[in-house]
Structure 1
Amino acid sequence: MFENVRVILAENDPLNLGMLEQMLQQFECTLIKAGNGQEVIDAISAHPQVDLVVMDLNMPVLDGYEVLRRIKQDVHWHDIPVVMATADGEEVAAVLELGANDFLAKPFNLCELRHRVMNQIRNKRLADFASNTNAVLEMEVAKRTAALQQALARALQSEYEISLRLGRAAEFRDQETGSHLKCISQLSKRLAQLARIPGEECDLLYFASLLHDVGKIGIPDAILLKPGKLLPDEFETMKEHTVIGGKIMSGARDYPVIEAGRIIALQHHEKWDGTGYPYGLKGEEIHIFARVVSIVDVFDALLTERVYKRAFTVEETTAIMMDESGKAFDPQLLELFFEHVDEFLALQGRIHADAVSVASITDIIR
């Protein structure tokens, strides 16, 4: 009927014990006898895969109440069915309240005894089957989840590689500024982390910031590579790199990195006070990604030599950028950035100490 059934039997009365043994033999079970309550606990400890405990309420050392309480309060044992044998009707309610699964009224009725025991063993086996099935399902879910996470990681890596190579397309046009792509990527992610932007968005920014200047592909060399300050009409043409970048990455809302890159490309030259380009966005109208990138982009550009400028010192860079707090830059983000400037300098890794004259942001970042 059932295979490998294990039953712990604790009964003081020899006559009742004989009846229980005779009945349990019908199930071809392994019978584990216990002479007192402590032996019941010891037997369960030694045989955790028990299918049923049949126990007299009145036992020495530990009575049935205490044994039942310990079984039902133990996280590893509470699912073991316990059938209590008692001759007192008032005791039935007490043991059921403590968690007993069933009771046997003395004197025993063999037919009733057989059915009650059989029901409890059946219920235990069904519960074990359900538990094992759930465990198998959980393992399968874990495997599939791990596989999905690996696939997502590969997809993100692919997006990163595509973004990096698309960003490098601008590098071939503007080799002296394109080399800072990875630096902008790392600094942007770190500033976002310090600003307590959610982790997934920090990773997204890490990828998307690579695309901030991709629109420079569409700017003529005579303007893009011109040493010195641009003429007004040349500067108007230079401004178009934001719109060009936005157009290159338009229509990709199903691809988070490209969509974030589009927003950054369009907005990273917007200014906190509304005097930026191309749309004159103001304050928090500017996406947080673009506000982050604008800070690290300017920071890296000021410290780096370009065809139209020498490298600025750290002190000069700090002074210029802090002067633009609340004008070009989000003041809270900028303050946070300079609270951790040593960390950013370490990440940026290219500190220049050349003494240069103070210049405006417009003259430095075109």
Structure 2
Amino acid sequence: MFENVKVILADDDPVNLDMLEKMLQQFECTLIKVGNGQEVIDAISAHPQVDLVVMDLNMPVLNGYEVLRRIKQDVHWHDIPVVVVTTDGTEVASVLELGANDFIPKPFNLCELRHRVMNQIRNKRLADFASDTNAVLEVEVAKRTAALQQALAKALQTEYEISLRLGRAAEFRDQETGSHLKCISQLSKRLGQLAGIAPEQCETLYFASLLHDVGKIGIPDSILLKPGKLSPEEFTTMKEHTVIGGKIMSGARDYPVIEAGRIIALHHHEKWDGTGYPYGLKGEEIHIFARVVSIVDVFDALLTERVYKRAFSIEETMSIMMDECGKAFDPHLLGLFSAHVDEFHALQRGIHADAIPITSITEMVR
């Protein structure tokens, strides 16, 4: 037998109430007897976890129809089963339409009454159990989801850190500032957002752009660190850093960031008009990630002092870049970049202002 069962018995005839009480005493449940419809509502409010309401339709104050309507329309009560006691068979369809769970005709049949009441109590407890189980499962799912999201965030952060350090391995070779990679990463993501690239792809671009120059690891110092202009032969060797980077990251198609990094490393020196390297790709043959990175890479390079050049002003930088619109750069992407250049410049300056030069880091670890 179920424990702590609460049943509300409602009838304005005390004799009928006593009869119902005697018939249901064997269930060893708490019976709450009331004499009108308003008292049914009050009893439900005062007694949480009511398992069943057995009521007559013809009651004072509030009749059974109104009580049934209120119970079934209340978000907290609508699952309470209601069994209607009636002498009029024509009322059955109406009360079932209002949401009554069952009916009992007068005069009562003891065996039928017990079975109907027991069935409704059983159904209510099963529904309560399912609801409680679902609530527990929802809490557990929420916990597991939160843990999974934390693990995913940690994995993404780890992937970023690995990409950052792999990229810095190349940066240490040519003594650029330690902020260059972070600058490329953040500016690439922002330009990707402006270009309408899907959010998850912008995250991949954010990580993968760090790997754009990883192939410089394979370029000799005599060329990589040369302060003056490269000879044609030296420039041919320098261009090989794109292919070297692609080879370093080849065979990683199951790892989206590394695969995107491979594509960026190979394509970020391709030009919109087909005069770039290493493959002479043209227009949209060049992956959009590489088209994005080529713009922000040149932007940061022009604004930053290098061993072979001074830092250009923002006006000079944009003049140089706009001259290459439709030549080196995707005109649509460059147009977006130009329209938001103040935002990109502020972001670029902020990143470099917080940076420690790689040369300083090298001195610290000697």
Give the structure-2-normalised TM-score: 0.91
TM superposition outliers: structure 1 runs of 4+ over 4 Å: none
In structure 1, list runs of 5 or more residues that go unmatched. Answer: 353-366
Asked if residue 41 in structure 1 is aligned to residue 41 in structure 2, the reply is yes
Pair 1:350–1:80, CA change in 2 (3 A): closer
SS at match of 1:202: helix
How far off is 1:233 after superposition? 2.1
- C-alpha displacement at 1:334, in angstroms? 1.5
Which letter does structure 2 place at the counterpart of 1:283?
A: G
Distance 1:84 1:11, change over 3 A: same
Residue 173 of structure 1 corresponds to: 173
Q: 2:77 corresponds to which letter in structure 1?
A: W
Instruction: Report the more deviating stretch, 300-309 or 25-34.
Output: 25-34
Aligned residue pairs, count: 352
Instruction: Give the 3 Å change call, closer, same or farther, for CA 59–330 of structure 1 in structure 2.
Output: farther
Alignment of 1:246 onto 2:241: no
Structure 2 residue aligned with 1:81: 81
2:307 is the alignment partner of 1:302: no
- The answer for the alignment partner of 1:292 in structure 2 is 292
Q: For 1:312-348, what per-residue CA distance to the aligned partner results, in whole angstroms no more than 9, with x for missing partners?
A: 1111111111222222222222222222212111110
- Give the Cα–Cα distance (whole angstroms) in 2 for the partners of residues 319 and 223 of structure 1: 28
What amino acid is aligned across from residue 166 of structure 2 in structure 1?
L
What residue is the counterpart of 1:262 in the other structure?
262
Residues 299 and 317 in structure 1, CA contact (< 8 A), matched pair in contact too = yes
* TM-align CA RMSD: 1.8
Identity of aligned residues (%): 88
Q: Distance in 2 between matches of 1:298 and 1:177?
A: 15
Structure 2 unmatched ranges of 5 or more = 353-366
User: Does structure 2 conserve the Cα–Cα contact (< 8 Å) formed by 1:243 and 1:265?
Assistant: yes
Aligned-pair CA distance for 1:137: 1.7
CA apart distance, 1:350: 6.8
CA distance in 2 between counterparts of 1:350 and 1:50 reads 63
Deviates more, 1:56-65 or 1:87-96: 56-65
1:277 aligns with 2:265: no
1:178 Cα deviation after fit: 5.7
1:227 matched residue in structure 2: 227
Q: Distance in 2 between matches of 1:66 and 1:167?
A: 74
**SS of structure 2 residue aligned to 1:349:** helix
TM-score, reference length from structure 1: 0.91
Aligned to 2:355: none
- Separation in structure 1 between the aligned mates of residue 122 and residue 312 of structure 2, nearest angstrom: 81
Q: Per-residue CA shift, 1:295-324, capped at 9, x if unaligned?
A: 111110110111221111111111111222
Q: Supply the distance in 1 between the matched residues of 2:24 and 2:350 (Cα, whole angstroms).
A: 83
Q: Describe the superposition over 1:270-309 as per-residue Cα deviations: whole angstroms up to 9, x where unpaired.
A: 2222222112222222222112111111110110111221
Q: Determine the structure 1 residue equivalent to 2:358.
A: none
Tell me the residue number matched to 1:105: 105
Instruction: Note the C-alpha offset of 1:253.
Output: 1.5
3-state DSSP of counterpart to 2:176? helix
Residue in 1 that maps onto 2:341 = 341
Contact 1:180/1:300, CA 8 A, preserved across alignment? yes
Q: Counterpart in 2 of 1:361?
A: none
